[in-house]
Amino acid sequence: MKTIYQSIVTEVGSQVELFLQEKMIILFNDSAPDDLRDVSVVHKRCPLEEDIKIGDELVIDNQSFKVTFVGDKVNETMRDLGHSTITFDGSSKSEMPGMICVEAKEIPAITSSSQLMFRQLS
């Protein structure tokens, strides 16, 4: 396994719970504009070592999720802003170019010290 993105959550917006109920989170690094922080899981800025691809894993703390879809803009926005919308529904497609879909499993509680990582399995 190779870790290609690793960060720590620094802030969980006041509206994040509403998105979690829809099996979704919005990621931004600490450059997130003030008007988006309420809806975002904000994390420390870090480099994206390689592109995120289908088959990779998202890991939140010790819970892993297989990536099932990566939108056309994901790697660009993750490099620039640490930004993507992640949906936990196992979809293999999305109309949103900044969307990452991962397998449908229970989402762990996300706190201001949660670990956030993407890793390649091979």
Q: Tokens for 100?
A: 């990452």
Residue-averaged pLDDT of the chain: 96
CA nearest neighbour of 69 among 81, 82, 48, 87: 87
pLDDT tens, 29-44? 999 999 999 999 999 9
Is the pLDDT at 5 greater than 80, yes or no? yes
Specify the DSSP element, H or E, that contains 6.
Answer: strand 2-12
Pick from 27, 6, 12: nearest CA to 116: 6
* Residue range 68-91: mean pLDDT, rounded: 97
pLDDT at 12 over 80: yes
| Burial state string for 42-63 with b = 16 or more CB within 10 A and e = fewer than 16 | bbeeeebeeebeeebbbbbeee
**Average pLDDT of span 84-104:** 96
At residue 122, the pLDDT reads 73
Helices (H), the chain: 16-21, 34-37, 74-81
CB 56 within 8 A of CB 19: no
Contact 86, 102 (CB under 8 A): yes
Task: Please identify which residue in the block is written with the tokens 């975002």.
Answer: 40
